[in-house]
Structure 1
Amino acid sequence: MLRLWPFVRPVRARLLGAASVAVVASSMGLVMPLVLKWIVDGPVADRDSAGVWLGAGVLLAVGAGEAVLFGLRRWLVARPLAGVEAAMRSALYRHVQRLPVGFHDRWSTGQLLSRGTGDLQLLRMFLAFGLTFLVVNTATIAIGLGILLTQDWTLGLILTAPVLPLIWLCAVFEARYTRAARSVQDQTGDLTTVVEESILGIRVIKGFGRHRSQARAFQALSGRLAAMEIEKARLLAGIWLVILALPELFLGGALILGVIQVADGALTAGTLVAFMTTAMALRWPVETIGFLLALCNEAATATDRFFEVMDTPAPPELNAPGGGADEAEGGEGLRFENVTFRYPDAPPGSPPVLDGLDLHVRPGETLALVGGTGSGKTTLLSLVPRLYEVTGGRITLDGTDIAGLTREEVRRRVAVAFEEPTLFSATVRENVLMGADTPPDGAAPDDESLRRALRISQADGFVGALPQGALTQVGEQGLSLSGGQRQRLALARAVVGRPRFLVLDDPLSALDVHTEARVEAALREVLAGTTALVVAHRPSTVQLADRVALLSGGRVAALGTHAELLAGSEEYRYLMTGRREGVSAR
């Protein structure tokens, strides 16, 4: 948990101040037994009512001072620790955004959400309460034991006797509770994933009548989580039982011995009152040991889970070696040189998805990618904007290796539109303009770019019919729109920034034939001045391309125009027409 120090360091002064104030406040509570001793052995024994009133006034002042100091402690830590939590959440969000797509392929959304919400709330609670009171209670117990030994060392030794057994029991408890706490936090992430998937997939669940099976899956996970929570409660109850009972037994023994000493005249009544009052004041710091241990273990587990994500290395951001968006037009276009790619979590020895692929998209050319399922078309497209990094070989944009460009620069040159369009809980305008460059002065992109993009994607008609036009909120995942509408907005987002390079993954698959024809006609305007790589599954989309590349076995099996490949490649002809040589498709 020392790794939290970089986040805590900016507020260390206020945290130290809060701990110091709390120690002083707790120490003031230990002053009260000494005042009581003075009252009992002095004014009470002497029947001095004025002295009793004076002592009562001192007790009132000490109690009021203690209350004020505890309030000051809370004020000192509330705002800065909320800032620490916010800083950690921002750091986690930034890091997750920088991590490669392969990381998100392996991690469930629910696990990331639980780390960014519940785990960080646990850490804030620990820093605000647990850490402070670990210091305060330790100091209080040490000071209190010193006072007890000063009052009467024999009685003090009796009360210190359970310390070593308690330390051993706490160590055993810590090991078991840590395992239970980690299991609970991991299962919470799994449960969050199930809930998220059930909400996002509600149409599928309802459409197939799978609500009962989903409910059973949820109940099974929820039941396991509840069982682990009960296990945590059982462990905590056990340690609390020991922490409460063991000191009480020794406290009773000390009381009996003290009464005997008072009866024998070896101890004054005031001293016994002060001793027992001090011992009772130490009950709360001792009793909270179990709770603080539990909180510490949960916070330590939350810290582990937080840094599991933060320790995942993000690809380094390189400085571009020169050139930029203003390189001369008519460069080398987009080139793949001996590109090999294998997914990071692929089994050892499995063949690569792309194996020594060579391909050149000329400047201003539109090249269609065609291939069977699993041939690597979408993977190849994902390498261009560096959603994945090549395993071998290189990819160049106008002669510049993309590995030597910052991701910001690569994605400023390359625009993408995927077959499964993703929209955000924002307006149509905000979703589309995500693909536009922000002007140097920081102003919003102009509406003319928005209108042009909507016109090219043939989205201007239905957007104009929305209740607030382009300012209409599309809802989570854009599910308030049809599949074709979402796909057209994703296409508009890809073309709004007038990119040098355009990567389209079957961007028209959800459109009807009439809308597809209109979009294709409008797209020709964009493709005429753009170097484009387009995954195509239908002949109508292939017609947009100047040339076609057939992918097979991780390589380019054939390259040429649509007509040339129809005439010369049986595999291409089968993909486009469904017919093999001499065999009619039924």
Structure 2
Amino acid sequence: MTTTAAPPQPARRSSSKFNALWRMRVYLRPYYGVTAWSMVAAVLSTAASIAIPLLIQHVIDGPVRHGDTGGLFLLGGLAILLGVCESALSFVRRWAQSASSAGMEARLREDLYAHLQRLPIEFHDRWQSGQLLSRATADLSSIRRFLSFGLFFFVLNLATYIAVSALLIHLYWPLGLFVTLSAIPLFLIVRRFTARYFAASRELQDAIGDLTTRVEEAAQGIRVIRAFGRRDHMSEHFAGGARHVHDLGVGKTRMVARTLSQFDLVPNVTLAVVLVAGAVQVAHGRLTVGTLVAFVALQVMLVWPIDILGWIIANAQEAMSASVRIYEVLDTPPSIVDRPGAVSLSTVEGRLRFAGVHFGYEPGRPILRGIDLEVQPGETVAIVGLTGSGKTTLVSLVPRLYDVDAGAITIDGHDVRDLTLDSLRRIVGTAFEDPTLFSMSVRENLTLGRTGATDAEIAEALEIAQAGFAYDLPWGLDTRIGEQGLSLSGGQRQRLALARAVVGRPRILVLDDPLSALDVHTEALVESALSTVLAGTTALLVVHRPSTIALADRVAFLDGGRLAAIGTHSQLLATCPGYREVLRGA
């Protein structure tokens, strides 16, 4: 896991925060119908609420003024009916909004997760996992809130503001025009607020991603922290990050609070002016009491759209920042993909060849230089070398965890880049030195190697890996082993990972020092069982212990990223001083 302070900024198509958010509309398309019904319900509900002040005007200037109790009851009943309609329509609107927002967020999260699975290992090597987690959780929630609620209410409130302003001008144009022009200071406040808030939102979201990384690292490394007695140190380290997030959050909230107070001030001052000026006009007979009451009631309806405008703008800025962060991932193209015309092999003989292979993780810093190696079908070749010589890198190229910079790797004469990834990784089984197990049952972990494996095949793989302990777990193979398999010992995890690699009986087997965590007795049992499997399988075996080399037909000795020698164990002992030196230090 990387520990860099911030993730790299990959090239992306989204040229601006507005463009990034605009591109998110694709996730709303399947819900346009539901959104339309929600908008219709909202418009009708708003129309009903607008009609009530106008109804009050007629009540005051009609039945109340003339003492007509019959007309008063009729208008009161109509007001109740409008209230019931508004309530029912609000229910429909909220239900439709929730359905569309939940569906949109689910689709976006699925696409993001699927894209992360397609991205190459080198991408995950560079990015903090916490930054990816925050994008898949908090950022998606910000986008959902805006696209499903913020954007919806922005359109609705804008329509409400225009409709109410038109009615106010119709009721009494001097005051109506005054209320309408009060939008000018609001526009100036918004303009000053948006640029600063976007930067603050992005900084806070990045800080949350860093803090998420610290939490994840502490959870995964809890045994190391306890073993070294560094709990207080790590707590202080986390507290520093938490304080930074706190300070950024408080600063952002202060910015919002200051802006919202300005939003509140404008309509309140406007309302005070209207009340005073309107009362004067009533006193001079230019306005009726009913008209003034309706005018004030309609103006009060504008207070909530103005108040919520601050929240909508803040939410929009957060959604824009989140969209940019999401597209930093989605716009990163997968570099290891199926080539046009890639083929799927059903039967494989198993001849593996490295032809002039060059590879480096960074330009200008090669790890492997001109590797030429041919492995015959059914042959096992041990890869030996000092730490940093390129052993793990070499075997990682076979299943295309990385692609070669130059040269080619072929299986039965087919360049691995010309095979479909599904076909290639069905042919090649892999077990790594650092075994990764998932928070699922033993059976599910094992069948990641072959989803259709039968109980007999699973049992055979467990026997080969000397992992029969799995049957003794509380629920046998259905026992959930916990995150990262930390409920098991290192040797148990490694044996399960080995069983997963061999369960599908792949034609080519890549084992990256899979026995390093085993005791000598268990290692001997596993090697004995593996010898049977390897007899009919082409295998590359990264080894450090001399005893494991006995499984190999030949040994390839890497030195500084080059293939320094190849031959049997006895031949290299006799002719290669570097090989003898490596074994002496093993």
TM class, shorter-chain normalised?
Answer: over 0.9
For 2:203, what is the secondary structure of its paired residue?
Answer: helix
The equivalences for 1:84-123 within 5 A come to 84-123=104-143
Q: 1:132 aligns with which of 149, 152, 172?
A: 152
1:425 is aligned to 2:439: yes
Could you tell me which residue of structure 1 aligns to residue 18 of structure 2?
none
Give the distance between the partners of 1:8 and 1:317, measured in 2 at CA: 30
The equivalences for 1:186-585 within 5 A come to 186-315=206-335, 316-318=337-339, 321-322=342-343, 324-327=345-348, 329=349, 333-343=351-361, 346=362, 349=364, 351-436=365-450, 438=452, 445-460=453-468, 462-578=469-585
The one-character-per-residue Cα deviations of 1:144-172 (angstroms, maximum 9, x if unpaired) are 00000011110112212321221121011
Contact 1:18–1:132 (CA<8 Å) still a contact in 2? no
Could you tell me which residue of structure 1 aligns to residue 4 of structure 2?
none
For 1:435, what is the secondary structure of its paired residue?
Answer: coil
Give the distance between the partners of 1:468 and 1:282, measured in 2 at CA: 63
Give the distance between the partners of 2:515 and 2:98, measured in 1 at CA: 53
Contact 1:178–1:301 (CA<8 Å) still a contact in 2? yes
For 1:124, what is the secondary structure of its paired residue?
Answer: helix
Contact 2:49–2:82 (CA<8 Å) still a contact in 1? yes
Q: Structure 2, unaligned stretches of length 5 or more?
A: 1-20
Give the distance between the partners of 2:148 and 2:289, measured in 1 at CA: 40
Instruction: Report the count of equivalent residues.
Output: 565
Give the distance between the partners of 1:401 and 1:121, measured in 2 at CA: 43
Give the distance between the partners of 1:283 and 1:259, measured in 2 at CA: 20
Q: TM-score, normalised by structure 1?
A: 0.94
Give the distance between the partners of 1:49 and 1:463, measured in 2 at CA: 85
Give the distance between the partners of 2:341 and 2:23, measured in 1 at CA: 33
Q: Structure 1, unaligned stretches of length 5 or more?
A: 439-444, 580-586
Identity of aligned residues (%): 49
Cα drift, residue 437 of structure 1: 5.2
Give the distance between the partners of 1:309 and 1:208, measured in 2 at CA: 36
Give the distance between the partners of 2:467 and 2:73, measured in 1 at CA: 85
Cα drift, residue 359 of structure 1: 1.1
Cα drift, residue 321 of structure 1: 4.5
Contact 1:412–1:437 (CA<8 Å) still a contact in 2? no
In the TM superposition, structure 1's runs of 4+ consecutive aligned residues that sit over 4 Å from their partners are 319-323
Q: 1:74 aligns with which of 77, 94, 112?
A: 94
Matched to 1:324, the amino acid is: L
Cα drift, residue 43 of structure 1: 0.9
Q: TM-score, normalised by structure 2?
A: 0.94
Contact 1:551–1:558 (CA<8 Å) still a contact in 2? yes
For 2:327, what is the secondary structure of its paired residue?
Answer: helix
Contact 1:19–1:135 (CA<8 Å) still a contact in 2? no
Give the distance between the partners of 1:394 and 1:219, measured in 2 at CA: 49
For 1:26, what is the secondary structure of its paired residue?
Answer: helix
For 1:355, what is the secondary structure of its paired residue?
Answer: strand
The one-character-per-residue Cα deviations of 1:477-511 (angstroms, maximum 9, x if unpaired) are 11111111111111111111111100000111111
The one-character-per-residue Cα deviations of 1:345-374 (angstroms, maximum 9, x if unpaired) are x2x53x311122111111111001111111
